[in-house]
Structure 1
Amino acid sequence: MINWKYFRLIISTACLLIIIPSIPVDKNFNLNSKAQAQVKTNSVSPILQNNQKIEIQQQEKQVQSEFYNDQLDENLEQLQEKLEKLTPEDDRFEIIHTLKKIAIAYDAQGKYFKALEYYQKALKNAKKNQDSENIIAILNKIGVVYSQLGLYEQAIDYYKQVLKKNPPEKNNIFSNIGSIYRHLKKYSQALEYLRQALKNYQENQDNLGTAQTLNHIGVIYREQEKYSQALENHKQALAIQEEEGDQEGKAVTFHNIGKVYQDLNKYSESLKFLNHSLIIDRQLDNKGKEGIHLANLGKLLETKNQTELAIIFYKQSVNITESIRKNLKVLPAEEQEADVESVAETYRTLAELLLQKKRALEAHQIIDLLKVQEIFEQMGSLQIDNHKYSELPFLESEELFWKKYSQLIEAASDTKNQNQLEEKLLEIIEFFDSEEVKSIVSELKENAENQKLSSDIVFSLQLELKKHQKKNTVVLYPLVLEDRLELILVSSNYPPVHRTVSVKREEFNQAIFELRVRLINRNNSQSLPNENNNQSEKRIMLAGFKLYNWLIKPLEKELRLGKIKTIIYAPDGQLRYIPLAALYDGRKWLAERFEINNITAASLMDLEPRENFQPVILAGALTEGSYQFQVGRRRFEFEGLPFAGVEVENIEQIFPETNKLLGNEFTKEAMELNMDSHNIVHFATHSAFVNGHPEESFILFGDGDRATLGDVKYWNLKDVELVVLSACQTALGKDIGNGQEILGFGYRVQEAGAAATLATLWLVDDQATHEFMNYFYVALNKGVSKVESLREAQVNMINSEYNHPYYWAPFILIGNGF
């Protein structure tokens, strides 16, 4: 299985240098796919004397090798055992060494808060030992981890602490701080630190470091729209790289110059430099960067309203990204982390352009792949094989263009003489403006919408939907764009249906926020002091009706003619924070009309109906105690759930063979030991989706211990049909995100082997949860599917004293609920 975290780091490192270098990357990085990629990252290398540097590097290489060979957990356990045996009387350097290795291991797993915990312990020991070299190294490492977490102010604080120690090499720290300030758009501070780094590189006669920093300064000037200064710095960098024979550096600089000319609306010059950077990386076989160059050429063509050509370049960029994921085995880019939004944005932009051109079949495939992309960017790994995917196909006219363009690029790549290369670049530019290309574009404009094109994902999905014909099942994909909402509905017998709804993203997200606030705060005395329960419900109906008109009403004709009973739903962005069941059509809640089953991505799912499912339940409950702890910037305080015990007792009455663990017996270890012998695992306890740090999402146990998503990844759930989290909440903090922590939670449980997860989007009244679960398990005991049991429970709640949507709407099913 591919370790996607390392793929993500390598792809984002390339993005970093070429597009938005928010954190500095070493000038010597290499993305050669013929060998395992190795990234030399000055910005995270400890600033130490040679012997200490070698020791740190050996630690990291060992951890990377262990991670790559799936040995890291085993060796982490050994390191923990070793640490427990070490006493204060032992060699303090050995204690520091072990703590750092544990921290590096957690960092490699993406468990950044655990990494910080052990780096801080190592730092404390290093200070006691007055070990200045280790103090500098660890302070730098802590700064890097905070950068990875997006906690930039803390990162800057630790980098500045390193500078106060007067390390022998300051330029890397200056670059790190400058890069963070640039990411925060504090350009004057960024330039101040980068100029200090530049001065040090020049004084040390480090030409490549000088060129890299000049490039970085040039990018800042471009972002400030100071284009002449940007070009001046890039050309100075290029002169050094020419003299040094730094081909990879030249590729970066050519790209940066191309972006400046793009901003200046100098299309031919931009096209020339962007293609030149692509040619160099083709020569170097840098596949990851090649994909990024193609995306940026697509962006250039898009700005020139050459949408048909832009689609071709975006398609090929996605194909390269997907092929790397499936085939490339790499070593990590160490701690290097970057803003990888641009990778997912390529997918989203391609889907947007295809839908703009009414090419729904092609758009459906890319939207599904977008979901996959979002998962691995958030979760750091993706180990479920995307078995339904093959590369995005070209239409006949697109294939004709790509073949000719590839021939021109190949010919230029084979050229050694500079004058001949300039001629080849001119041929490429002339090709884009040729009659041949104009004819291809004309053909695509007129006929692309009607050309028949197969999609492996659609075909596979339709085959699975045919097995749900008794339920008349469809799959709904919304895509939220800046100025509109795109809807795609996939059924078993017809081509995907596409509808466009004109609504601004800001207005749409505000409607989502308002509905969520109404749902969660059923008696919000602060904002609505005189509102009773009926008034609250009416306000929710109005908010739900507004979203219904955008999301469902445009598809009502197809839903009614198809007599649809089940909607498989792949929400996009902030839609993940509200349940589709809580939308209101003017007469009924959608929960009353449809069974609703959320999914991560169809290409990762097995949606075939389960047969002869006989529940064998393991149920644990947090019944007492008080618990306080910190996750990132958020503090959590929990109390025991009095009705959780009753909830589990009721499950036992319905299914007498239930294995229950209450109070102190409900431990992480006890649950893990028993999971593989049950097919439903029920957690009547506090759990949370943590926005911004999805791997820190957690489940709380009776002894105060927690299982994070990083732990769930290693659970043995391969025989488990359903994991139930009956008291879950979404920890949003100050800002609402894009719901990827919810997407990630469902994926992690699926990755561990479970078919589906039943969770809540907000914490519900303890007694109401107990009532809901009773309805759910009674329905399940009748032999109906999980998703049908969910709907029955919701309808029963609607017809009970718990009829307010606050009580019944938060429960969502993610995965295969059939």
Structure 2
Amino acid sequence: MRNLRCKVRFLLIMFLSSLTCLCWDSMPLLTQVPYAHQFVQQGIERYQAGDYNGAIAPWQRALILYQKAKNSQQEVAIVAENLARTYQQIGQGNQAIRYWEQAIAYYRPIDPQQTGRLLTEQAQSYSSIGQNRQAIALLCGTVQDQECLPQTAVSIARAHKDLLGEAAAWGSLGEAYRIRGDYLQAINYLHNSLKIAEEIANPQLQISALNSLGNAYSNLAQVGDRQANSAEKLGESEQSNQLRQQAASNNSKALEYVQNSLELAQKQSDRTHQTRAYINLIPLYYRQANYTAAAQTHQQALGLWQQLPNDRNKIYSAIDLAKLQQSNTNSPIECLNPQVQPNAITLLEQAASIAQKTQDNRALSFAIGELGHIYECRQDYTPALKLTQQARWAAEQDKDSLYLWEWQTGRIYQAQNQKPSAINAYEKAIATIETIRDEILTANRDLQFDFRDTVDPIYRDLITMKLDTVPSAVLLAATDANTKNLRSVLSTADSLKLAELQNYFGDDCTLNVVNQQGIDIGSIDKNTAIFSSIILDKQTAIIASFPNGNKKVIWLNKDNESLRQEINEFRLGLESFFDEYDPQPAQKVYDWLIRPFTSELQQAKINTLVFIQDGILRSVPMAALHDGTQFLIQKYAVATTPGLSLTELKASNPQNFRALALGLTESAVIDGQKFAPLSHVQQEIGEVQEQLKGSTPLLNAEFNRTRLQQELSENSYPIIHIATHGVFGTVPEDTFLVTGNQEKLTITELDMLIRSTTKNTEPIELLTLTACQTAIGDDRAALGLAGVAVQAGAKSALASLWSIEDAATAQVAAQFYQSLTDSRMSKAQALQKAQLALIEKGDKYTHPAYWAPYILIGNWL
């Protein structure tokens, strides 16, 4: 407020000194400008009294008067600044951004230092409404050679040696990256902020940086815990232990930073930051199973909270304290224990009361929405629904929270067996998610529970309700009303697939939707059936779509965990090179997924099966299913796609096929992981050159980013063939290819190289990766493989689920490309022919370990 008073005082001086130089034609405005000053003063008094909404009206009137007056641009800028901060104070970030624009427009040509500082405040407004990419663009932009872009907040502050502005900009940048889920980058920038804050002895900035560092390390600890759980489920006990140790270390660092923040806030008698520090300590103690310390800290936070002024900090602190009365409150649908619910209700009611008085609708939506959830947990649905509807109205402009209350409305209706109302609410929630998918699905993407607990269930619950009325194991005609319902289910499932990919690949994911829902596959391909799997908690739906528009759904009555175990057993058997192959698991899965549709496939004369898989089913090749007599690949060509909306259904012209063929024959070590030499890769590259005339090889040392970018910029290649080790991990950072100079090339980086070239103006026709591997049972890694074509900017991808001897790979590649040049053969049929050739070779090659891992992803035509 001191800063605000200084600015108003300066505004008055400017106003008085300008009286002597006003011309006659301005006299009609002279009588208005003094009134503007009165409105400014009125706004100050109301702001100081905590009446933030009351301050807005007189300031807006003053702004209008100054805008009409000549030579009052600076006054306009100052009032706009004050309005921006006030709107930010009451949670209206969009309004704040609009006024920041006005103020920045004035300062940009005359005061770079102030411009940089206001850019930082505008970025904070963007972060407050979940738009972290815009915040990062204002603060630093895309880092080039370790430097922020010109005219960003960091660059401006550094250029003008504004240490205060630089510390604030680095801190805001670190917080934006933290919220986005890039914790290591966040920590780097927050350390920059802390270092400068200590140098200039600014305790407020130090407190803020320390607190944010604590949160970033806490987030890293959460990531580690969940990765450890995943590794443990996969039987990787050593890796699980290492991850848990690292998580514990990060939790200890988080504790240290937050405690330092608390001590400094106590020295400054800063109750707001003391309360925030105590709140941040509670989950850290829970993670250490130190429940006594957590309870004591909760009481200390509650005591300080009572002394806070009635502002949005107090509101959000109350919401956090209500939820932190027990340790396991990660999921928005998780219920507090009955014994702590009364205390939580009291806190939330107080928070709601403050939000109503300050007219902070965003904070109000969270307070009463959480209150509604407690009544939902109590099965007291009348007040639950009333409160949730109020939360929806309050969140109307904040879609990143609106979908939560629409979802909660749907759950309440569903609990009351009001299915039409429930479906309507769920559809509204998904429609809201679709409009903000880029922001909410790329934020905190490393914390899998964020997506799986707050987005994924909405889609699956809606699918479950819609499928409830569809008859099972009955062929439904294209004109049947149930078929229309199934099309709606498949549309929802496809949207879920898009959301999963966006969440997996994060902020750099470019989802190019090429097909709208309801596309008539039969008009494009009359001999292909589409199989879609949807895994729910207690059972799995398999929906087959035929070229004539008919559909059929069958239910696999297995819960999620049982299905996972049996599919993993199937995958383990496929990879057992040196054991005699046991077809029993393959026959079991065939009986589940294919046999119920046998007669319909025969009647429709189907020769190609395309699978849109869900969850753990992505991790196994359908070609290896067995009917008791032969493998599925011996009857059908097989392909997979992450979703029809991402698949360009257009046949290619093989006459123009040539490849950029990259390969690595030598051993490599990446991040301590050893990769064996691939002795037959040179032969494989030779086969590519033989079958696709005009291809260009880049082998070993020549296979590097520079040469790759050079070739792509100078020549057009419909096919990129990469014969090197590839790893698909739980997170995109662990999804990479090994280059010839022993560096990691992530799929995202490959996409950037492809898209940044001028020659490949269209998506490449095919990306081939012949030595990839995904961990058994890791459906997050399998999701990355399923989306590899999309993320690499390719119409199709040919990749392997596990590594095999490269001699077999060379044979598959040779046959595949030879068949691909035949215009009468689709990509799926070309792969089928290559796999059959290996099976027919006999001996060890009949084992699916050698031919099954190759899967075609994307466009199968």
Q: Deviations over 1:605-639 (max 9, x none)?
A: 2122223453211111112143130xxxxx53223
TM-score normalised to the size of structure 2?
A: 0.69
Task: Report if aligned partners of 2:187, 2:213 keep a CA contact under 8 Å in 1.
Answer: no
Secondary structure in structure 1 of the residue aligned to 2:553 = strand
Aligned positions of 1:292-441 closer than 5 A: 292-325=404-437, 339-341=450-452, 342-358=454-470, 359-381=485-507, 382-386=509-513, 388-389=515-516
Q: What's the offset of the Cα at 1:174? A: 3.3
Task: Report if aligned partners of 1:475, 1:569 keep a CA contact under 8 Å in 2.
Answer: yes
Partners of 1:368 and 1:185 lie apart in 2 by 41
Secondary structure in structure 2 of the residue aligned to 1:755 = strand
Q: Deviations over 1:67-119 (max 9, x none)?
A: 669994474675599xxxxxxxxx9989x989969985994897837626855
AA at the equivalent of 1:774: A
AA at the equivalent of 2:395: D
Task: Report if aligned partners of 2:349, 2:368 keep a CA contact under 8 Å in 1.
Answer: no
Q: Deviations over 1:517-542 (max 9, x none)?
A: 2222333xxxxxxxxx33xx12xx11
Of 50-59 and 494-503, the range deviating more from structure 2: 50-59
Task: Report if aligned partners of 1:194, 1:213 keep a CA contact under 8 Å in 2.
Answer: no
Partners of 1:225 and 1:587 lie apart in 2 by 58
Residue 643, structure 1, aligned to residue 686, structure 2: no
Task: Report if aligned partners of 2:735, 2:747 keep a CA contact under 8 Å in 1.
Answer: yes
Count residues in correspondence.
677
Please name the residue that 2:28 is paired with: none
Secondary structure in structure 1 of the residue aligned to 2:845 = coil
Please name the residue that 1:713 is paired with: 751
Among all aligned residue pairs of Structure 1 and Structure 2, give the percentage whose two residues are the same amino acid.
23
Residue 223, structure 1, aligned to residue 336, structure 2: yes
Q: What's the offset of the Cα at 1:66? A: 8.2
Please name the residue that 1:437 is paired with: none
Task: Report if aligned partners of 2:258, 2:280 keep a CA contact under 8 Å in 1.
Answer: no
Aligned positions of 1:13-412 closer than 5 A: 29-30=91-92, 64-65=133-134, 72-73=141-142, 75=144, 79=148, 107=177, 112=182, 115=185, 118=188, 140-146=211-217, 150-151=223-224, 153=247, 155-165=250-260, 166-168=263-265, 169-179=273-283, 191-205=295-309, 207-221=311-325, 222-226=335-339, 227-282=341-396, 285-325=397-437, 339-341=450-452, 342-358=454-470, 359-381=485-507, 382-386=509-513, 388-389=515-516
Task: Report if aligned partners of 1:606, 1:816 keep a CA contact under 8 Å in 2.
Answer: yes
Q: What's the offset of the Cα at 1:696? A: 3.7
Taking structure 1 as reference, are residues 287 and 119 closer, same or farther at Cα in structure 2, changes over 3 Å only? closer
Of 703-712 and 135-144, the range deviating more from structure 2: 135-144
Taking structure 1 as reference, are residues 151 and 628 closer, same or farther at Cα in structure 2, changes over 3 Å only? same
Higher-Rg member (1/2): 2
Partners of 2:368 and 2:745 lie apart in 1 by 47
Taking structure 1 as reference, are residues 301 and 102 closer, same or farther at Cα in structure 2, changes over 3 Å only? closer
Task: Report if aligned partners of 2:136, 2:173 keep a CA contact under 8 Å in 1.
Answer: no
Q: What's the offset of the Cα at 1:287? A: 3.4
Residue 587, structure 1, aligned to residue 642, structure 2: no
Taking structure 1 as reference, are residues 164 and 261 closer, same or farther at Cα in structure 2, changes over 3 Å only? closer
Q: What's the offset of the Cα at 1:596? A: 1.5
Please name the residue that 2:728 is paired with: 689
Task: Report if aligned partners of 2:658, 2:693 keep a CA contact under 8 Å in 1.
Answer: no
Q: What's the offset of the Cα at 1:379? A: 2.1
Runs (5+) with no aligned partner, structure 2: 1-87, 101-113, 151-160, 226-246, 266-272, 326-334, 471-484
Please name the residue that 2:68 is paired with: none
AA at the equivalent of 2:856: L
AA at the equivalent of 1:655: L
Taking structure 1 as reference, are residues 667 and 388 closer, same or farther at Cα in structure 2, changes over 3 Å only? closer
Residue 743, structure 1, aligned to residue 854, structure 2: no
Residue 768, structure 1, aligned to residue 808, structure 2: yes
Residue 466, structure 1, aligned to residue 523, structure 2: yes
Taking structure 1 as reference, are residues 811 and 30 closer, same or farther at Cα in structure 2, changes over 3 Å only? farther
Please name the residue that 2:696 is paired with: 659
AA at the equivalent of 2:570: L
Residue 493 (structure 1) aligned to one of 530, 548, 573: 548
Q: What's the offset of the Cα at 1:198? A: 3.7
Residue 794, structure 1, aligned to residue 851, structure 2: no
Secondary structure in structure 2 of the residue aligned to 1:384 = coil
Residue 779 (structure 1) aligned to one of 819, 822, 838: 819
Task: Report if aligned partners of 1:67, 1:108 keep a CA contact under 8 Å in 2.
Answer: no
Partners of 2:569 and 2:751 lie apart in 1 by 34
Q: What's the offset of the Cα at 1:677? A: 1.7
Task: Report if aligned partners of 1:465, 1:474 keep a CA contact under 8 Å in 2.
Answer: no
Task: Report if aligned partners of 1:139, 1:158 keep a CA contact under 8 Å in 2.
Answer: no
Task: Report if aligned partners of 2:140, 2:148 keep a CA contact under 8 Å in 1.
Answer: no
Partners of 1:654 and 1:488 lie apart in 2 by 38
Q: What's the offset of the Cα at 1:334? A: 10
Q: What's the offset of the Cα at 1:466? A: 2.0
Q: What's the offset of the Cα at 1:690? A: 1.0
Taking structure 1 as reference, are residues 567 and 32 closer, same or farther at Cα in structure 2, changes over 3 Å only? farther
Partners of 1:55 and 1:80 lie apart in 2 by 13
AA at the equivalent of 2:744: R
Task: Report if aligned partners of 1:315, 1:350 keep a CA contact under 8 Å in 2.
Answer: yes
Residue 699, structure 1, aligned to residue 737, structure 2: yes
Runs (5+) with no aligned partner, structure 1: 1-25, 39-49, 82-90, 390-456, 524-532, 630-634
Q: What's the offset of the Cα at 1:788? A: 1.5
Partners of 1:185 and 1:487 lie apart in 2 by 43
Partners of 1:193 and 1:518 lie apart in 2 by 52
Q: What's the offset of the Cα at 1:273? A: 1.4
Aligned positions of 1:804-815 closer than 5 A: 804-815=847-858
Partners of 2:123 and 2:807 lie apart in 1 by 51
Please name the residue that 1:438 is paired with: none
Q: Deviations over 1:676-701 (max 9, x none)?
A: 5211111111111111x124411110
Residue 510, structure 1, aligned to residue 555, structure 2: no
Partners of 1:757 and 1:743 lie apart in 2 by 14
Secondary structure in structure 2 of the residue aligned to 1:567 = strand
Greater RCO, 1 or 2 (C-alpha within 8 Å, sep 6+): 1
Q: Deviations over 1:124-168 (max 9, x none)?
A: 988998999788766655554455552364553332221343333
Task: Report if aligned partners of 1:712, 1:748 keep a CA contact under 8 Å in 2.
Answer: no
Q: Deviations over 1:345-393 (max 9, x none)?
A: 111110111011213232111111111111112222453343645xxxx
AA at the equivalent of 1:769: T
Q: Deviations over 1:575-612 (max 9, x none)?
A: 11111112111111112122112111112221222234
Please name the residue that 1:423 is paired with: none
Residue 726, structure 1, aligned to residue 823, structure 2: no
Taking structure 1 as reference, are residues 674 and 521 closer, same or farther at Cα in structure 2, changes over 3 Å only? same
Q: Deviations over 1:278-330 (max 9, x none)?
A: 23233xx333433321211111111222223211211122223224459xx99
AA at the equivalent of 2:502: F
Partners of 2:628 and 2:369 lie apart in 1 by 54
Secondary structure in structure 1 of the residue aligned to 2:627 = coil
Partners of 1:664 and 1:80 lie apart in 2 by 33
TM-score normalised to the size of structure 1?
A: 0.73
